[in-house]
């Protein structure tokens, strides 16, 4: 079964600085999808960015970008120009196209310091 590991339980960043959150996963599949979700204190889980494994180009959404290293099974999230509203739990997730199972990491709590 696929597993997702987030090795950083907590991270902090100064406002306007850049921070990178780490995620690794284990799979034997060649086709899959990876996601980063954000869960602010209000609890609504929000999709931040997604990456299809068959695409070599790293996904980017405004200030959010990923570094997808398929061979290393690594999927890190970079947040540029951090804002106070970025403070939240961030979850990395793996999805196989062959079933409905979405596997989540344990999460990284990001604190943004003014």
Residue 33: strand, helix, or coil: strand
Residue 16 near another protein by CB under 8 A: no
Contact between 105 and 92 under an 8 Å Cβ cutoff? The reply is yes
The number of residues that bind another protein (CB under 8 A) is 24
Q: CB of residue 25 vs another protein: minimum separation in angstroms?
A: 12
Choice between 48 and 79, CB closer to another protein: 48
Neighbours of 14 (CB within 10 A): 11
* The residue to which tokens 């070599």 are assigned: 56
Residue 66: strand, helix, or coil: strand
Q: CB of residue 80 vs another protein: minimum separation in angstroms?
A: 22
Q: Which stretch binds another protein (CB under 8 A): 19-27, 62-70, 80-88, 98-106?
A: 98-106
For residues 44-64, one letter each, b for 16 or more C-beta atoms within 10 angstroms of the residue's C-beta and e for the rest, the string is eeeebbebebeeeeebeeeeb
Choice between 59 and 87, CB closer to another protein: 59
- Residues at the contact surface with another protein, assessed by CB under 8 A: 4, 33, 35, 37, 42-47, 50, 52, 91, 95, 97, 99-107
């Amino acid at each position: 079964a696929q597993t997702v590991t987030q090795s950083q339980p907590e991270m902090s960043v100064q406002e306007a600085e850049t921070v990178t959150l780490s995620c690794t996963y284990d799979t034997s599949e060649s086709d899959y999808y990876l996601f980063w979700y954000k869960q602010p204190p209000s609890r609504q889980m929000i999709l931040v960015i997604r990456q299809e494994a068959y695409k070599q180009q790293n996904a980017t959404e405004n200030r959010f970008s990923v570094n997808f290293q398929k061979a290393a099974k690594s999927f890190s999230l970079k947040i540029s120009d951090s804002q106070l509203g970025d403070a939240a739990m961030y979850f990395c997730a793996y999805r196989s196209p062959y079933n409905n199972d979405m596997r989540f990491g344990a999460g990284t709590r990001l604190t943004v310091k003014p």
